[in-house]
Amino acid sequence: MRFSKCYVKTLKETPKEAEVISHKLMLRSGMIKKLASGVYTYLPLGLKALKKVENIIREEMDRAGAQEILMPVLQPAELWQESGRWDVMGAEMMRLTDRHDRSFVLGPTHEEVVTDIIRNDISSYKALPLNLYQIQNKFRDERRPRFGLMRGREFLMKDGYSFHTTTESLDDEFENMKGAYSKVFERCGLNFRPVEADSGAIGGSGSQEFHVLAESGEDEIIYCTSCDYAANVETATSTINHLPKAELLEVVLKDTPNVAKIEDVVEYLNVPVEQTVKAMMYKDMATDEPYMVLIRGDFEVNEVKLKNIIDTVDVEMLTDEELEKYGLIKGFIGPYGMDLKDIKIIADPSITEISNHTAGGNKKDTHYMNMNYGRDYKADIVADVRTVKVGETCPKCGGKLDSARGIECGHIFKLGNKYTKSLGATYLDENGKTQVMTMGCYGIGVSRTLAATIEQNFDDNGIIWPSAIAPYTVDVIQANMKDEEQGKLAEEIYKELLNNGVDTMFDDRDERIGFKFKDGDLIGFPFKVVCGKKAAEGIVELKIRRTNETIELSKEEVVKTIK
């Protein structure tokens, strides 16, 4: 590409709306342009870089055995009603109505659509496992679109979905994807960490996020300084519908096979680091089924997530005023033989029959009618559920824990039968018996990864692209546009680089060299090849953006050195 022909307009000043460095530099280097809040156009340089990230992801997905498809962005509401997410997704989902008054959704994710395909197409265990992915724009009406490409309302995602007959098969694919994701982020030249996240409700290491470490990251992660342990503490900065701060949360579990431990629920609270919550889980004596969790502490509740993960859950956080409204009295739990002084209990407001009596002399007690502890239910009590804190020892190796900011660029999940069950994705097993499929899902924010790359690679002068993602690897600069020798050599080297498959820009603009350097630094080409004073001898200068080194080379050595 010749710079003189390239559609790029660099800016000296940083547009006011940009807060983080990637947003500032992408605007200044003419890579993106804002259309509306959280909605951007990719201009040629930005699109080239985006495509590079996309292709790395595509190559690693294909290598890992996943198959690319392309599903519609426009999705019928019925599918979301069937899965139960129509109500759960809330305001983040972009909804629209067609001329016949039918409701649709602009896909924020595609579990429903892909499961619909599979349930209609696959009937035998022989066709499984299967992993399908797509790379496509997603729509989420984020409460606070910001940071440019990092939190958009229309953004590019790679989303993949796998279907299995057994949990072992899902476990294998999860590991396979974990490996592929690590390769993607390594190839992008990023400093990243796989982080345990939201694992609770699915069990085990059911969910991993891939965080690119950067100060501007919206998430806080705790990691071990001696081993690979790392966990997302889900601080309150995420923008999913947060309910106000609560100190008492009652979660009524209705049909929740995935929830076995209190931690499974507590995982879905946004408990800040260094804080703990107290929680207890009530279980049915006969079946051992958990049916209610009470949690007390200082936290925010990520209601959407909680509802998303756990099959059916009612979240109620009652303030003193609300308690009064429901006619409930805060009380203490009866004599369970534990120190429960500061754990309050309230009754499920949907249950009208509540016993409010005075037990054990002067203790107020509120509980379900005709429910006897020990006979009908028992409680597992866990105090200080979140014990992982900075400064404490690593739960895995005993090493020292520290915290860092991270940008969530990837997220992989063992979904189990959450969608396959509600949407009826079944197959016939070896014995001809109908079984529900097991499912996993795997996302990478392509556009967010691009922005995260800049958050990690910049200096005062601009972007410092890792070669794998740079829109152009080399910027060939003719120092003096009036010098014919220089022009001839620059032209020669430009062609030679192109012939060798190196993405090259030739800055052939009639501008001073200092001006060209400034633009080159801002755009972030990993290499500049300057055809200057020694052009007549066939000697050029190679400038390395990252290290600021300058090396003199003969024209023959240029391609070899860069490749």
C-beta closer to ligand ATP: residue 116 or 408: 408
Considering the rule CB under 6 A, would residue 151 count as an interface residue with ligand ATP?
yes
Residue whose C-alpha is closest to residue 81's, from 73, 70, 89: 89
The residue range among 54-62, 97-105, 409-417, 525-533 that interacts with ligand ATP, by the rule CB under 6 A, is 409-417
Q: What are phi and psi of 366, to 5 degrees?
A: -120, 125
**What's the start-to-end Cα distance of the chain, in Å?**
18
| CA 488 to each of CA 144, 291, 433, 528, 550: distance values in angstroms, whole numbers, following the listed order | 52, 79, 74, 17, 22
User: CA 292, 222, 23: angle at the middle one, nearest 5?
Assistant: 105
- Of the candidate spans 95-103, 349-357, 363-371, 445-453, the one that interacts with ligand ATP by CB under 6 A turns out to be 445-453
Residue 152 touches which member of ligand ATP, Mg ion, none, C-beta under 5-8 Å by kind? ligand ATP
Which of 57, 156, 111 shows the shortest CA–CA distance to 440?
111
Member of 164, 178, 411, 528 binding ligand ATP (CB under 6 A): 411
Coil, strand or helix at 55: helix
- Please identify, using beta-carbon distances, which residue of 25 and 177 lies nearer to Mg ion: 177
Q: Is 152 in the site for ligand ATP (CB under 6 A)?
A: yes
Fill in the DSSP letter of residue 392: S
Pairing of strands 527-531, 539-544: antiparallel
158 binds Mg ion, rule: CB under 5 A: no
Q: Which residues of 193-217 are buried (b: 16+ CB within 10 A; e: fewer)?
A: bbbbbbbbbbbeebbbbbbbbbebb
132 and 62 Cβ atoms separated by less than 8 Å: no
Nearer to ligand ATP, 129 or 152 (CB): 152
Q: Does 445 bind ligand ATP (CB under 6 A)?
A: yes
DSSP category for residue 117: H
What are the percentages of helix, strand and coil residues in the chain, rounded to 5? 30, 35, 40
- 397-456 residues in contact with Mg ion (CB under 5 A) are 408, 411
Select the binding partner of residue 194 from ligand ATP, Mg ion, none (C-beta < 5 to 8 A, by kind).
none
Residue 448 binding target from Mg ion, ligand ATP, none, CB below 5 to 8 Å by type: ligand ATP
How many Å apart are CA 331 and CA 226, to the nearest integer? 45
Closest approach of ligand ATP to the CB of residue 193, in Å? 13
Distance of closest approach, residue 238 Cβ to ligand ATP, in angstroms: 5
Binders in 235-264 for ligand ATP, by CB under 6 A: 238
> Out of Mg ion, ligand ATP, none, which partner does residue 516 contact, by CB within 5 to 8 A per kind?
none
Is residue 448 at the binding interface for ligand ATP, with CB under 6 A as the rule? yes
| Matching residue, tokens 């002399």 | 361
Beta strands in 200-359 (DSSP E): 207-213, 219-224, 230-232, 246-253, 269-270, 277-284, 290-301, 313-316, 331-332, 344-345, 354-359
In the bound state, the residue with its beta carbon closest to ligand ATP is: 445
Interface stretch with ligand ATP, choices 152-160, 353-361, 487-495, 504-512 (CB under 6 A): 152-160
- Assess contact for 438 and 417: CB atoms under 8 A: yes
CA-based nearest residue to 444, from 230, 233, 182, 237: 182
Cα–Cα dist 48/387, whole Å? 45
Q: Judged by CB under 6 A, which of 134, 162, 447, 478 binds ligand ATP? A: 447
Pick between residue 331 and residue 440 the one whose CB is nearest to ligand ATP.
440
| 211 forms part of the interface with Mg ion (CB under 5 A) | no
Q: Which is nearer to ligand ATP, 142 or 519 (CB)?
A: 142
**Residue 409 burial (CB count, 10 A):** 28
Q: How many residues in the chain?
A: 563
SS (H, E, C) 264-285: HHHCCEECCCCCCEEEEEEEEC
Q: Does residue 148 interact with ligand ATP by CB under 6 A?
A: no
Min dist. Cβ of residue 483 to ligand ATP (A)? 46
Neighbour count for residue 145 (Cβ, 10 Å): 20
Nearer to Mg ion, 219 or 519 (CB): 219
Least spacing, CB of residue 53 vs ligand ATP, in Å: 11
Q: Which range, of 12-20, 331-339, 404-412, 418-426, touches ligand ATP by CB under 6 A?
A: 404-412
One-letter amino acid at 314 equals D
Q: Among residues 140 and 344, whose Cβ is nearest to ligand ATP?
A: 140
Which residues, numbered 85-144, are part of the site for ligand ATP (CB under 6 A)?
109, 140, 142
**d(Cα 106, Cα 542) in Å, to the nearest integer?**
48
344: contact with Mg ion by CB under 5 A: no
Work out whether 157 is an interface residue with ligand ATP (CB under 6 A).
Answer: yes
For ligand ATP, give the closer residue by CB, 88 or 354. 88
443 binds ligand ATP (CB under 6 A): yes
- The one of Mg ion, ligand ATP, none whose footprint includes residue 409, by CB under 5 to 8 A per kind, is ligand ATP
154 or 475: CB nearest ligand ATP:
154
CB of 449 to ligand ATP, least distance (A): 7
408 binds ligand ATP (CB under 6 A): yes
Write out the E strands in 473-549.
474-478, 504-507, 527-531, 539-544
- The DSSP output letter for 154 is E
**Residue closer to ligand ATP, measured from CB, 208 or 256:** 208
C-alpha 521: how far from chain center: 30
Contacted entry of ligand ATP, Mg ion, none for residue 84, CB cut-off 5 to 8 Å set by kind: none
Q: Which of residues 208-227 bind ligand ATP (CB under 6 A)?
A: none
> Total number of residues binding ligand ATP (CB under 6 A)?
16
Q: Can you read off the two tokens belonging to residue 123? A: 């009937």
Quick one: 297 or 406, whose CB is closer to Mg ion? 406
Which residue's CB is nearer to ligand ATP, number 109 or number 473?
A: 109
C-alpha span between 254 and 354 (Å, rounded)? 19
Q: Residue 252: helix, strand or coil by DSSP? A: strand
Q: Which residues contact ligand ATP by CB under 6 A?
A: 109, 140, 142, 151-152, 155, 157, 238, 408-411, 443, 445, 447-448
Q: Which residues contact Mg ion by CB under 5 A?
A: 408, 411
